[in-house]
Amino acid sequence: MTARIGVVTFPGSLDDRDTQRAIRLAGAEPVALWHKDKSLGQVDAVVLPGGFSYGDYLRAGAISRFSPVMESVIEQAKSGMPVLGICNGFQILTEAHLLPGAMLGNNHLHFICRDQKLRVENADTAWTADYAAGQEIHIPLKNMDGRYVADEHTLDELEAEGRVVFRYVDFNPNGSLRDIAGITNAAGNVVGLMPHPEHAVEPLIGSGRTDGLPFFTSILKKLVGA
């Protein structure tokens, strides 16, 4: 069995091709999905990649949430299909209410691009099983609206249920509450994070590290039962 992982392209997506390459390097088959098509083409999982969908007009991810493809993504995610949202994709997942909270502008009001140190807090999701809890990794980060916020009750709930998947270490680049860099839903099939693992899959490009590759090998093993 060859796992087929869809990558949705919205107007303004920047990292869809990079994500497809990461999926291919992990051993799965990337499938290009267009935001106007409602069909997911019988894929086994979906990635919403980074970029600036619809130019981040109105609010980051707010317009993409209403693209035809998202109706199918929401339906399948609620039925257990693994979905990963990276950066702008994370923003779309919060706008679609597949993940709680919201993404606001960075507290310093500037775009930031850096190699970011993270700690893996949850290695039990569909996308993080090839990591170890407590493992520290370096993943490139680039965003303008990367500040994760939620009310205290939601934050306490995420902490109590182990749904904080990644946390910023040493430096909080955008003012995210409780240093949260990524979260999951209660079922563990939907994960969103701000840093870009697809830019850390080959030693000769990007960050020069391969710390992001386990995202894609994790989901491959989940889908094929390896």
Positions marked catalytic: 87, 196, 198
Query: Can you tell me the distance from the alpha carbon of 141 to that of 138, in angstroms, rounded to the nearest whole number?
Result: 9
Q: Which of 92, 58, 195 is nearest to 136 (CA)?
A: 195
CA neighbours within 13 Å on the CB side: how many for 41?
A: 18
Going by their DSSP bridges, the two strands 164-168 and 147-149 should be labelled as unpaired
Distance from chain centroid for Cα 9: 14
Q: Which of 127, 118, 115 is nearest to 192 (CA)?
A: 127
